[in-house]
Structure 1
Amino acid sequence: MGALRVALDIGGTFTDVVVYDERTGRYRAAKASTTPDDLTEGVLTALGHVVDRAGDLSFLVHGTTQGLNALLQRRGARVLLLAGAAAADTYHIARGPRTRLYDLHYRKPEPLVPLRDIVPVGGRLDASGAEIEPLDEAAVREAARRYRDEGFTAIAVAYLFSHANPVHELRTREILTEELGDGLTLSLSHEAANEWREYERTSSAVLESYIGPVVQRYLTSLTGALAERGAGAPLHVMQSSGGVITAESARRRPLQTLLSGPVGGTMAGVALAETLQRPDLICVDMGGTSFDVSLVVDGRPDIAPEARLEGLPVLMSVVDLHTIGAGGGSVAWAEAGGLRVGPRSAGADPGPACYGRGGTEPTVTDANLRLGRLDPAAFGGGIAPRADLAEAALARLGAELGLDAAAMAEGICDVANAKMAQAIRTITVSRGIEPARFTLVAFGGAGPMHSVFLARELGIGEVVVPRFPGALSAWGMLQSEIRRDFAEPYFRLDADLDGADLAGRLRAAAGRALASLDSEGVPPGARRVRAALDVRYAAQEYTLTVPLTAPDEPASPGFRRRVAERFARLHESRYGHANPGAPVEFTALRVTALGDLGRAGPERVPPAGGAPVPGRGRPVVFAGRRHPARVVAREELRAGHAFAGPAVVTEPTATTVVPPGHRVTMDSFGSLVIRREGK
């Protein structure tokens, strides 16, 4: 086994890679163009930039958006849904609330399975899980025949109350395996989401089956290619929850990989919160295609038990991310005499006009290049941007709007910044959180170019640009642990709670969760477990997840009072109000098993020792004026170096732009700390 810990993050434009050498304690980062037609090719190319021999790997993890892209582009599997005959239309009836109340054109999200592909299956359980009517096994066998004859590629099974008793779903799997063999892509709702809401549980099972074949083919291809090159370390995959699992586990539970790539940046924020002693962070990741925002509060990621993707609910632990279509490749265009930027992206092929790959429409990257904020000589990914192509694209759009190329470029950046600032407000201000009390952590290939402008608009006084910002999501994956999440229904009013019974249930669930780490290769001494409860005010709909100190805490005196107080504090924080003393009820118990496979520690940079700040001069445009700016390569900076803007800091994975009125200091971990002058 080697000594290199490697993480890869596959983005829409670039595949980023970070390697940590356990022998020297040093990091390296690189990037390669993403290859949309065969992602494995881009992964292996990026890996080859930092690793000479695959046998040198001791740990390999990557984030993939294969499943998410299949959903967004609606190119997943054709799914046959087996639903209980008594509630076969649940998936299409969905929920009644209008998410956009005054939108006259609102339509419910389009389901992934049409009504004609839903098979009603007889058999019924009551709400406690007791059997009322036996499973109609003949209907299941007829569904298997239809699967063979009509070209389906995956099956989802979701029966009423299977969260209370999965016996009918388990028997259905046995029958389908008898009829169709072991290679079937099959999702049972109680395994995809063992929770009580029927529509959401069904949606989760359908979504897992829908993306399953795409994710499984990709992971099989990549693990095979790595094995051919002599890699002995198992491949791991980032989960939506911020933990990692083996590729084999991801093949079995592809739903967990849906937000695999973006959450790596949040986990990097968690590691930075500890290292930099800044517990509250707004993490912004601006890549070539999208802009992702997430929070780290009190040093922990903001994790939700449910997400909505393309309007479809999915029940799983997921880092709470807000994503918009705004990236370096976002295309600028004119509509009704006004300027629009994104969400359409030039992507990796052809890419921005300045890439010289055939793109002709101006993008955010073209705008930054025209303003002097990008250095063509320091651009990574094997690309040498051409200023003349950017100028021509901007001039064509400017002619439509009556602006020259420079004004057009600043207008594009201003519009993009406004969209991104609004995305940050959505995840902070709209939830009663004041962004000014946070530090803004900027990463992604384009994030550090825009971060100070965003902070200025939101009243945030400090921006941190960590090392390897263009590959920080990959770096964050090296800081993560193995994680397995489990949930089960538990309905009780607080007045009816039996603490000993609840503690027993939690201890049993914790034992199963810890045992699940056997397949992840985690030594017994490196395992731990967390427990939590979903709590709500009696008769309300929405719950909050309240952490417990240990699985057996409910058996201790005063538990009901303590958990009610924790719930009230969380409710106040999330919704701005609480109702102490009101009856509460419990709806689910949750346990999380965590396994430590080692992590890449922080690397300190050498001190400046009185050496002058390096750099050269170049004009850069800010607010319509050309300013003489310092341009410095980040690798030449040392801890303690400080200088005032305007400035541009270049490196292979990103560019940091510091407008006038701000000052930069490099700390001992190599992070650029940017503050407004006088603050």
Structure 2
Amino acid sequence: MKVSVDTGGTFTDIFFLEEGVLKYYKVPSNPKNPALSIIESSKSLSFETLVHGTTVATNAFLERKGGKFLLLTTKGFEDVIFIGRQVRPKLYDFFVEKPPHFLTEEEVLGVSERIGPKGEIIKPLTEEEIKRVLKEIEKRGLLNIALSFLHSYINPFHEKLFEIALRESFPKVEISVSSDILPEFREYERTSTTAINAYLLPVLKKYLDTLEKSFPEKEIFIQQSNGGFITLDEAKRYAVHTILSGPAGGAYGGLIFAKSFGFERVITFDMGGTSTDVCLLDGALPFTKEYQIDGFPIGISVINIYTVGAGGGSIAHVDVGGALKVGPISAGADPGPACYGKSLLPTVTDANLLLGRLLPDKFYGGKIRLDKERSFRAISELAGKIGLSPLETALGIVKVANTHMSKAISKVSVEKGFDPKEFILLCFGGAGGLHACSLARELGILKILVPKFAGAFSAFGLYFANYLKDFSKSIFVDLKDIEKLSFYLDQLRKMAQEYYQKRERSLEEFEMEYLVDLRYKGQGYEITIPYTEDLKEVFERDHERLYGYFLKNYPIEVVTLRLRVRKDTPFEEFRLEEKTSFFSTFEGEVFTEEGFKKVKVISWEALREGEILKGPALLIEDFTTFYLEEDFVLKVLKNKTLLVERWRN
């Protein structure tokens, strides 16, 4: 049996199929030791394979809790990692602050060597220089090294030479080599990606070692940021690839789930306890190589997911100007929202509880009772600061959170030239269902798709994810030079063959897809397209779609070749586990801008395929609640999936 586990900031979700029956549940996450939640929740399960999406790497970087390391780079280029691109994202902000660096100048060592842009050796790396640097490393006692030498993407000889010397001198050393992590041009991005990998390695490795010891003889795979998973050993080497591990599962799950209902154009809306992740899917996963985490670039291929700090646990507060703000700080699982009984922090969850959208005795399948009185106290204190009633303040908190999420959806759609009206909103995450109708109305989205297992949907995506490994090499070849292009394609294939031979596997086990990064000669940006016979036509078409023009008879340059190695996981048909409703339908009350309104409160379990229901209503499932607003109507599809539409304007 296979089990998938998605660890979020607030809850850990477990998902599996047992004889074709879909089963899932949640346990609170353990922020201090995330592995404990998985270990405790999986003890009773008999499984052979575990696919895991984790936020360990993300949190370690955002909180600057990575491991100490030394960055070795070409002498004279020690400041590349600190200078960056000199890009100012907030041009008119007088008080802009740079995010704190994860490296100090004392942790960078210059190595006397130099390779030119064509791969020629300008200054050899001598034995004396290697010995000098090794002595300095020994003196510092740091056995975590990042290697990023100039132009090593075209000629990795010096990096490989130094790597061998390091391993011979320090057998227990952890090494991140730029020509292995990201063998592509652009010095700053390559160095940043390699350095971040080294920074995250000790933390992720310790975490994965704990998992490995806890599940001996189990096959463990880790989700990557590109939507596929890698083996445990690969994850221990390529920590930077797990930086968007959890959200990637939701995006991939969104793709296959929506397609199973015939929808190709989808905006995924994943609202959890800590943040909201949105992604636009136009028939395929959108990839980017320009992702930044907290201001630092990561040059690897990741799913283009946009994240905002608005989740169920996001804390509401008043800023110095007296304005109501929500997030980005979250109450997480501990202490959690005020209604959890451990704090008086007013959160989005407390606001929804006060408004009647969440019911205190129906949370978590009725196993946890929320403290509505505590939510009232927390929000009342906030209300006093802005001169509103507690209910008006709760409504304000929800509106501010919705604004954050609406902007995020516009970011991946409107700002990219897409009209949200042409897409369906796929809503998941434990908190998403409470906000989906409001967002659809605001953005003009006509349809919403909601899976019954929305609260554990990212774990669903992990379960059906494919094995995926990316290889790349920058080459700079004219598109017309077919002979050179064929040579480098063969070299890339050999690189992948050697990689798997070292792991006693064959490349023939996998599906392979070649891609190319193309640009007009002299441009500073590229377009990635699949490798086909009509590369020129496809490039010109995509260039015109993205930038409004293309250039006839202008030289096109192949900048980087890519090879995507994949082993597909077959999609299994499933049916829901039969459960009895833990309550009967009754009438409740929610507070809106027009005052209190009556709503039907219905157990999701009681819904039947083909049933049609008009709002307002609350649909309650063990791990999520869907608020069907009064101008919406839903139809129950297969596996109690909801298709929600506006029924009046």
Q: 2:531 corresponds to which letter in structure 1? A: L
Change in CA separation of 1:665 and 1:517 when aligned onto 2, cut-off 3 Å? farther
Aligned length: 643
2:481 aligns with: 498
1:145 equivalent to 2:135? Answer yes
CA offsets 1:21-55 (integer angstroms, 9 cap, x no match): 2xx2111111111101111111123324xxx24xx
1:209 aligns with: 198
| Alpha-carbon contact 2:264-2:282 (below 8 Å) kept | yes
1:185 aligns with: 174
| Alpha-carbon contact 2:307-2:408 (below 8 Å) kept | yes
1:637 equivalent to 2:607? Answer yes
1:354 equivalent to 2:344? Answer no
1:61 aligns with: 51
Q: Partners in 1 of 2:602 and 2:290 — Cα distance? A: 44
Secondary structure at the counterpart of residue 289 of structure 1: coil
1:589 aligns with: 561
Which of 439, 454, 465 is residue 424 of structure 2 equivalent to? 439
2:642 aligns with: 672
Offset of residue 420 of structure 1: 0.7
Secondary structure at the counterpart of residue 245 of structure 2: coil
Offset of residue 487 of structure 1: 0.6
248-257 or 103-112, larger mean C-alpha shift? 103-112
CA offsets 1:197-224 (integer angstroms, 9 cap, x no match): 1111111110000001000000001110
| Alpha-carbon contact 1:245-1:520 (below 8 Å) kept | no
1:38 equivalent to 2:21? Answer no
2:585 aligns with: 615
Q: 2:334 corresponds to which letter in structure 1? A: D
Change in CA separation of 1:68 and 1:520 when aligned onto 2, cut-off 3 Å? farther
Q: Partners in 1 of 2:357 and 2:97 — Cα distance? A: 42
2:373 aligns with: 388
Q: CA RMSD in A?
A: 2.2
Offset of residue 454 of structure 1: 0.8
2:546 aligns with: 574
| Alpha-carbon contact 1:480-1:599 (below 8 Å) kept | no
Q: Partners in 2 of 1:60 and 1:511 — Cα distance? A: 30
2:235 aligns with: 250
1:19 equivalent to 2:8? Answer no
Q: Partners in 2 of 1:158 and 1:511 — Cα distance? A: 23
Q: 1:305 corresponds to which letter in structure 2? A: K
Which of 617, 625, 630 is residue 647 of structure 1 equivalent to? 617
2:300 aligns with: 316
Q: Partners in 2 of 1:132 and 1:76 — Cα distance? A: 35
Q: Partners in 1 of 2:182 and 2:411 — Cα distance? A: 27
What pairs with 1:538-557 in structure 2 (closer than 5 Å)?
Answer: 538-549=521-532
Q: Partners in 2 of 1:447 and 1:207 — Cα distance? A: 32
Q: Partners in 2 of 1:220 and 1:605 — Cα distance? A: 34
2:627 aligns with: 657
1:76 aligns with: 66
Offset of residue 108 of structure 1: 4.9
Secondary structure at the counterpart of residue 324 of structure 2: strand
Which of 81, 87, 93 is residue 97 of structure 1 equivalent to? 87
2:117 aligns with: 127
Change in CA separation of 1:575 and 1:426 when aligned onto 2, cut-off 3 Å? farther
Change in CA separation of 1:32 and 1:537 when aligned onto 2, cut-off 3 Å? same
Q: Partners in 1 of 2:20 and 2:266 — Cα distance? A: 26
Offset of residue 140 of structure 1: 3.4
Offset of residue 513 of structure 1: 3.1
Secondary structure at the counterpart of residue 619 of structure 2: strand
Q: Partners in 2 of 1:668 and 1:457 — Cα distance? A: 28
Offset of residue 426 of structure 1: 1.2
Q: Partners in 2 of 1:414 and 1:628 — Cα distance? A: 21
Offset of residue 90 of structure 1: 2.0
CA offsets 1:217-261 (integer angstroms, 9 cap, x no match): 00001110112xxxx431110001100011111001111111111
Offset of residue 375 of structure 1: 2.3
Offset of residue 625 of structure 1: 2.0
Change in CA separation of 1:678 and 1:522 when aligned onto 2, cut-off 3 Å? farther
Q: Partners in 2 of 1:603 and 1:582 — Cα distance? A: 55
| Alpha-carbon contact 2:154-2:475 (below 8 Å) kept | no
Which of 237, 244, 247 is residue 262 of structure 1 equivalent to? 247
Unaligned runs of 5+ in 2: none
Which of 21, 42, 56 is residue 47 of structure 1 equivalent to? 42
- TM-score, structure 2 normalization: 0.95
Q: 1:486 corresponds to which letter in structure 2? A: F
Offset of residue 433 of structure 1: 1.5
| Alpha-carbon contact 2:602-2:620 (below 8 Å) kept | yes
| Alpha-carbon contact 1:565-1:580 (below 8 Å) kept | no
1:533 aligns with: 516
- TM-score, structure 1 normalization: 0.90
Change in CA separation of 1:466 and 1:106 when aligned onto 2, cut-off 3 Å? same
Unaligned runs of 5+ in 1: 550-558, 607-612
485-494 or 207-216, larger mean C-alpha shift? 485-494
| Alpha-carbon contact 1:239-1:257 (below 8 Å) kept | yes
Change in CA separation of 1:582 and 1:355 when aligned onto 2, cut-off 3 Å? same
Q: Partners in 1 of 2:514 and 2:508 — Cα distance? A: 19
Q: 1:252 corresponds to which letter in structure 2? A: R
